A and B are shown apart, each in its own frame.
Chain A
């Protein structure tokens, strides 16, 4: 029996889709059988981030309406094939085209077949969110170190509790250690102070993400990328390993020198 995890945030643009793509790819790379489900009906983009857009024939709505078999709609990943598949969202319909009951049924079916089912939730707290959480066993909340994003994450955690999804894991995305050090960005402990849920991972702001997203190849497979490393750590934590949060200090001689001067480096 697999585990269905919804990836959600409330606020848009904090990196739900990127996180879903990277964790899915990372889990597949770790030998798990993974299905990614885009529940952002009408505004899909998980397929783009995965580089699979041009292979879509059937989508989630075709499956729940019985116009095709589930297997026909699942798109195999370029790199991992059968071990990583995507169920895309319909682009031309509205969110309410699917009901929470239909999602529950679908998840029941996918759970049989895959070790992990990752649901990419739409932004917001309306119908699309309710669909996304309907069939989930666990939740990952993505936020960035901004007050608005943290506020929305807090709202979402409350709504997840109401949907009986307790103890979600938190991914703090786009952290800029330099700004945090100067006091210009919320720190991890500032965020933890308000949200008070388990931190699953901290992902540094990394230009590699933009490059990889545009190329349709998740950064998690790039062994040189800092963000990739952060995602690989989250994957290991999801699989139950104890991995300490990585040191986010920027590398490079100048930074090392600055840290010496400010007395941070020991």
Chain B
């Protein structure tokens, strides 16, 4: 039981110490120590980032973790892991919103031009246009705060409830999960406002965005 409170795993972003429930901090610390002992000196000399899935850690608790890691020859990297959530030092996290790894979001503050391809594990938000000949592929949602005229593939790993949103949704081709749709060959009147594409049944459907 208690071993699941805390895991040390390698990830795309190096070693990550994942704490599933910060409210049971004493047990977390025990679990971490057991893990470190069990791993012998396997992790020695490496640095790890901290990921808290539920609850929060105070800064003194983070210091304690850092001390414990140091005893085992490891450093704590206080930057947030690239794929997840930073160590939260204040503010409770509502229990109803458990953070998930795939919720990481890439913010792109420029226009993606022809020939440029963006691949990301998570959601993508583009503050700019996605021009014809450009391509965005990601495992989550795609939001374009501008015109989407290129190719967008949301939910690329099979997430059928992924959406594609754009202020002007005029893509060359739209893909969500395994479904593909393309712009009709005849010219349509340009959309007047933000639109969103999602899977309805076994087709990709566009609708005017309303919240």
Contact = CB atoms under 8 A, between A and B. Distances in A.
In this complex, the interface size class of chain B, counting residues with CB under 8 Å from chain A, is 10 to 19
A217 B55 CA distance: 76
A194 B115 contact: no
Interface string A199-237: 000000000000000000000000000000000000000
A196 B133 CA distance: 16
A196 B129 contact: yes
B132 interface: yes
Contacts of A161: 113
B49 interface: no
In this complex, the interface size class of chain A, counting residues with CB under 8 Å from chain B, is 10 to 19
B149 interface: yes
A155 interface: yes
Given A158-B116, A194-B149, A151 B111 contact: no
Chain B CB within 10 A, most for which of A151, A154, A158, A194: A154
A61 interface: no
A155 B114 CA distance: 5
Interface string B131-151: 111000000000000010100
Interface string B93-135: 0000000000000000001011110000000000001011100
A157 interface: yes
A178 to B, nearest CB: 21
Contacts of A151: 114, 132-133
Interface in B12-58: none
A158 B114 contact: yes
A196 B149 CA distance: 14
A70 interface: no
A155 B116 CA distance: 8
Contacts of B113: 154-155, 157-158, 161
Contacts of B132: 151, 154, 194
A159 interface: yes
Given A151-B114, A154-B132, 4 more contacts: A154-B131, A155-B114, A155-B133, A196-B129
28 contacts: A151-B114, A151-B132, A151-B133, A152-B114, A154-B113, A154-B114, A154-B115, A154-B131, A154-B132, A154-B133, A155-B113, A155-B114, A155-B115, A155-B133, A157-B113, A158-B113, A158-B114, A158-B115, A158-B116, A159-B115, A161-B113, A193-B147, A194-B129, A194-B131, A194-B132, A194-B149, A196-B111, A196-B129
